[in-house]
A = this chain, B = another copy of it.
């Protein structure tokens, strides 16, 4: 196998045209779109319009005339098309952490006679932390179990199971339909975190019968740093669910300034404060771009990139101590690939110094994301060649690559 094989795969890539829609720095192979997606060219223009025209010239009137007030629902309807939800089942607001709090609390409100929330050990930390905080306040019990014990633990006390569809470290993918069905068979609700799913995999929440979901705007949706997040509430739950974060944007008539809270009864029930318009403007550009691509083609190309990366690392970098940390089967994984290495941190830094941007996750994981809209199989080939050079030269042993930054 050589680089021409990668080129041949690229020649048949139905998504190749999307590369030009991104403003990526020259000389960089960006394998960290699973942490922060790059800048869609349209996002820069859309943010500038939001700032100079809508805010600067339209001022307060833009809440009505520029569609600001409907933005959480308008963007929600766009996200919905990427995750198999109905247009009125998704809203964009707040951060993933805040949305998880709202929806897990909402699950408790829908199952008032059940007091247990179950999640898995090794879930993304903020998910576990937020559930800890919620359960302490709401008088519920959080069970954090090894993944293989989660399903057996679901019982008549379980209000909800909270799992991240694609694991942030290993990329292991849960079977969404099977897990949802098994959880619901016990009368509990299923809440999915789609942080590493939306924009990456062909996701079908309603096909799986999911109850609730949250997800992130700044990873595969390319919504910009700290972009607003999304939340999904199945239509059948919207009239009954309650959010403890009952801010004015969730009120049935926000501008009637009524004395008492009265939930809207639709997806807006899960809104809270004033929508973050500049962040929403950037995210909308990312969504509009993503919606031009067939989600099935996105998943297929992403998995093709992952397959090639694993194959090349295990052949061309053999003998250098890299061990695949995550599923080998494509059907069991998302679009990032993790390899354990005793010098994982320094290795990632040495790669970044050569323009191959991945990231590191404790204790020893070098993580590489394969976002399908702007990466090619040739990029994968080139990245592995640089990895091979770093390993063979042992360049990662240089002392400057061992200094930990605040954010890893």
Where the two chains meet, the residues of A that have a C-beta atom closer than 8 Å to any C-beta of B are: 23-25, 28, 30, 32, 35-36, 38-39, 43-44, 47-48, 50-52, 54-57, 59-64, 68-70, 94-98, 101, 105, 121-122, 125-126, 128-130, 132-134, 136-139, 144, 218, 224-229, 242-251, 254-261, 272-280, 282, 352, 357, 359, 361-362, 405-408
Contacts and interface: CB of A to CB of B under 8 A. Distances in A.
B98 A226 contact: no
Nearest to A282: B278
Contact of A278 (B47, B64, B246, B248): B47
B246 A408 contact: no
A95 B94 contact: yes
A257 B276 CA distance: 28
A144 B132 CA distance: 30
B246 A59 contact: no
Contacts of A224: 51, 55, 277-278
B246 A132 contact: yes
A261 B98 contact: no
A46 to B, nearest CB: 10
28 contacts: A25-B56, A25-B59, A38-B55, A47-B47, A48-B48, A51-B224, A63-B406, A95-B247, A95-B273, A95-B274, A96-B273, A96-B274, A98-B273, A122-B259, A125-B254, A128-B261, A129-B248, A130-B272, A133-B245, A136-B242, A137-B138, A144-B259, A225-B274, A226-B273, A226-B274, A226-B278, A255-B362, A278-B279
Contacts of A280: 226
Given A47-B47, A129-B246, 16 more contacts: A36-B63, A38-B56, A39-B51, A39-B52, A63-B225, A63-B407, A95-B247, A96-B273, A125-B254, A126-B248, A126-B273, A130-B245, A137-B138, A139-B139, A226-B277, A278-B278
A126 B251 CA distance: 9
Contact of A125 (B38, B259, B274, B407): B259
B32 A59 contact: yes
A245 B52 contact: no
A295 to B, nearest CB: 24
A224 B276 CA distance: 9
A336 to B, nearest CB: 13
Contacts of A251: 125, 129
Given A126-B248, A276-B276, A261 B225 contact: no
A60 B44 contact: no
B97 A245 contact: yes
A130 B274 CA distance: 13
A31 to B, nearest CB: 10
A229 B272 CA distance: 13
A132 B261 contact: yes
B352 A246 contact: no
Contact of A247 (B50, B52, B130): B130
A383 to B, nearest CB: 15
Given A97-B272, A228-B276, A248-B125, A44 B39 contact: no
A278 B95 contact: no
B226 A126 contact: no
A398 to B, nearest CB: 18
